[in-house]
Structure 1
Amino acid sequence: MMAPFSLMSVGANLLVKSLGLFSSVSVVRCSCVAPVLKCFSTSTGGPPKRPLTGYMAYVKEMHPTTTRQNPGVKNVEIVRKIALQWKMLTPEQKQPFQNASLASREQYKLDLEKYKAQLTPEQTAALAVEKRQKLAKRKAIKKKKELNSLGKPKRPRTAFNIFMSEHYEEAKGTNTQTKMKSLRDDWVRFSAAQKQMYIQLAEDDKVRYKNEIKSWEDHMVEIGREDLVRRKAKRVIRAKTTKDTKKKSKITVLKAKAPKKMTGTAVKKTAKSTK
């Protein structure tokens, strides 16, 4: 049985950061706070490197040997083999790696405190901004994955998007940037008649999206995920629900006021009393 994909994915991603074939010590990276941190990372040496987990410490140790034993095998497969080996270890065999991870974690806390102590207020503020941006980015990625798993329809494409997808391969240029520039120049040179076909396709795609997103949002409401529905659609749904509720209440009131039909006996008694 293979190790969980999440475990393997973590291993594969961290291998690019913590093994010998990894990058050097992490430094603060954020374009928006670059002016504040321009000379900061080189003067301070950057923040301390995060400690490895027990599993990643095992991966780091086993990776060179496993790679030599499996020449030509892709890195992701190497990680899967190591993940399977880790899963088969006994708790006693895993303990040294987990102990080493705990010790590294304690040292990391001390190093981090020292690192923060030497920061200026501007650098501390810049790091806080970067942290919030990274958190927001992770949340956005997580939400996008969730929406994809729930089958949310793709947004409609613009006329230029459709043109670009059709002509990207044949566009001039050796990389994405030059190809995109070439396509934009071609699009600008197009006449209104030449653009019309793509404009019509874009309009058709808007209709497709409108129908699909309505069906999808109705389904989200049915399964209790109204939080994923657009605000405008929520207002329409709530207005419809309120209208239906009022209509039902009105029918109930009318039924309550309607006179009861008298039975034959009641009719006779009423007739006698009138005499």
Structure 2
Amino acid sequence: MITTWRLLFPINGANLLCTRRLATTQDSIVSKLKRNIEKDILPPKPKKPLNAFIQYFLSIKEQLHKEYPNCTQKDILKKVAEQWTQVDPTIKQNFQKQYMEQQSVYKQKLMDYKNSITDDQQMLIQNQLIKKEHALERSQIKQKLADLGKPKRPLTAFFLFMQDNKMLKDSQVSQKDWMKNISKEWKNLTMEAKNKYTAEAARLTEKYKTDIKKWEKNMIQEGHQDLLKSTLKSKRNTNIDKHKE
């Protein structure tokens, strides 16, 4: 469904940026996934204290926004960084002292937090992490397959109908309401009118079957057999068995 939706409504710059971010290192992404898992299934984790510079920044941020209302957050931060180099050493020491005190409290809270986690929660974390790692792997593979020119699944009869009508969408109508209206129109469409889209969907499906077979043959010839669906399924099953051991 999501893939079909993207065919109808191509990704914008923000989505493209998200896609590019998938290229970050595996270790970094897995670490982020683990933090998200802990947030979902564990008690709130103690937050790290803010360093001396950030505490100083927060203490004068509101004042600077009033003095420079037209400055962006980036410009404000730049001004704070410049001021920080000229701040009285005594003031800096006070902020640093606050940070060290908060850091000491944080370490104790973190130790208590880790000791409070049960074996069952640890097991749950591990299982959830494995699932999210697999989801991430599938997402990265999907992007690689697209880069290698894998044919896209064709639209269904309904989505072909929706594609024909999307240019007529009233900008004042919400996406949700438009989808509801277009679904009602499809339901009330005559069988003769529907047959036009059904026949086109069938033609595209047959073309897709031919194209995907040709593409898979090329992938094997080019040494990309490890990316084919059957190979990936076998690999995932092997990895699951290893984790169970």
Q: TM-score, normalised by structure 2?
A: 0.49
Greater Rg over alpha carbons, structure: 1
Q: TM-score, normalised by structure 1?
A: 0.45
